[in-house]
Amino acid sequence: MVGKEEIKNLAGLARMKLSENEAEDFTKELDSILDYVSQIKDSTTEDIEVVPILRNIMRDDVPKNADSEYTEDILNNAPAREGNFLKVKKILG
Residue 8 lies in a domain: yes
CATH of the domain at 37: 1.10.20
pLDDT value at position 14?
Answer: 93
How many domains does the structure of the chain reveal? Answer: 1
Q: What is the pLDDT of residues 14-67, one digit of tens each?
A: 999 989 999 999 899 988 998 888 888 777 777 778 878 888 888 888 888 888
Cα first-last separation, the chain: 60
pLDDT band at 91 (very low <50, low <70, confident <90, very high): confident
Residue 78 lies in a domain: no
Residue 82 lies in a domain: no
Rg of the chain on CA atoms, in Å: 31
Residue 87 lies in a domain: no
pTM: 0.42
pLDDT value at position 29?
Answer: 92
Residue 10 lies in a domain: yes
Residue 36 lies in a domain: yes
CB 80 within 8 A of CB 87: yes
Query: What is the span of the domain harbouring residue 8?
Result: 4-42
- Identify the residue with better confidence: 48 or 73: 73
pLDDT value at position 80?
Answer: 92
